[in-house]
Amino acid sequence: MPRVIVIGSSNRDFTVRLERLPRIGETVSGGEFYTSFGGKGANQALAAHKAGAEVILVAKVGRDENGDAMLRHLEESGLSTDRMIRDEHAPSGVALIMVNKDGANMIAVAPGANRNLTAEEIVNNTDAIARARVLLIQLEVPLDCVQRALAIAREHSVTTILNPAPVRQLPRDLLSLVDILTPNEVEAGMLTGDTVTEVRDALSAAHRLLDAGVKHVIVTLGEKGSLWVTRGQERFFPPCRVTPVDSTAAGDAFNGALACALAHGRPIQEAIRFANAAGAVTVTRRGAQSALPAREEIEQLLRSNQGEPC
């Protein structure tokens, strides 16, 4: 089975569903509370696994109750925890999530052990990176870890996907190691200094990122779809038609499914359609990892949208 290696975060999520999101200084009561498992690294690893790839996850959790629960959950979900690292001092990462009735969300993260991942620990996993077809990484771990992982992948001709979330300014020497960059519209705007609200804005931002050294840029635009840009080519992908419930893990589903499809050797445009459908299925359900779709569900949505935008 094609192999994807994911390097990133693993968190315990604490979520409240509300009629509407509070404004600054406001308390909104009447919400439903539940706990689940998240972190962009773990979410994307599980998304790639459920979409049909063999996945290795490298992440760091605390030696605490939340860390124990996360490892149990990953194992029960079918992921190996052999490459997971325990931090003897920092607590496991947690995320506080609020979701409104339309599925829009606000998220705050206390990274804990995630921010203690080291470049040396990345080097210790060189063998796993070298054996993968695709490396998928985000920005919830230290930037030197991201750059070291991308460099190792480049040395071994492994396709690299960087999901630049949470967004921060990135040096050109790091961007030059990225085969595929997958910002959403907010992240694309913050990376380039542009305001990105429409497809034409995303196109302009994508070209700026190509100029910085990235090979392919895929800007995810939520309910508007997604835009792929590379040198000499561009294509807009309309959204799949679904009724949204919770958008918490839509981006993670997209990235995991994209990595899976590319690891299977699908052409990039076909892989983007597959990823779009994965994100669309995810928003129809509550939660993060619990909402991620199986491969059959993704393919079913693509079949049901034949002749329709998706």
Could you report the per-residue pLDDT of 63-99, keeping only the tens digit for each?
999 999 999 999 999 999 999 999 999 999 998 989 8
Note whether residue 309 is domain-resident.
no
Q: For the chain, how many structural domains are there in total?
A: 1
Comparing C-alpha atoms, which of 6, 11, 13, 253 is closest to residue 114? Answer: 11
Asked whether 182 and 255 are in contact (CB, 8 A), the reply is yes
> With 60 as the cut, is the pLDDT of residue 17 above it?
yes
Comparing C-alpha atoms, which of 281, 250, 282 is closest to residue 185? Answer: 250
Residue 218: domain span: 7-22+31-304
Distance separating alpha carbons of residues 33 and 199, to the nearest angstrom? 36
Element (H, E) at 132: none
Q: What is the mean pLDDT of residues 113-130?
A: 98
> With 80 as the cut, is the pLDDT of residue 287 above it?
no
Note whether residue 310 is domain-resident.
no
pTM: 0.92
> With 80 as the cut, is the pLDDT of residue 244 above it?
yes
Q: Which residue of the set 13, 201, 246, 252 is catalytic?
A: 252
φ, ψ at 172 (rounded to 5°): -60, -35
Comparing C-alpha atoms, which of 129, 159, 147 is closest to residue 58? Answer: 129
Asked whether 222 and 202 are in contact (CB, 8 A), the reply is no
Query: For residue 305, what pLDDT is reported?
Result: 77
Sign of the alpha-carbon torsion through 177, 238, 184, 85: negative
Distance separating alpha carbons of residues 6 and 135, to the nearest angstrom? 6
Residue 252 annotated among the catalytic residues of the structure: yes
Note whether residue 53 is domain-resident.
yes
> With 70 as the cut, is the pLDDT of residue 310 above it?
no
Q: Which residues pair with 106 in a beta bridge?
A: 98
Note whether residue 289 is domain-resident.
yes
Q: CATH number of the domain that 54 lies in?
A: 3.40.1190.20
Q: What is the mean pLDDT of residues 120-127?
A: 98
Q: What is the mean pLDDT of residues 30-55?
A: 95
Asked whether 113 and 61 are in contact (CB, 8 A), the reply is yes
130-181 per-position pLDDT tens digit: 999 999 999 999 999 999 999 999 999 999 999 999 999 999 999 999 999 9
Q: What is the mean pLDDT of residues 212-241?
A: 96
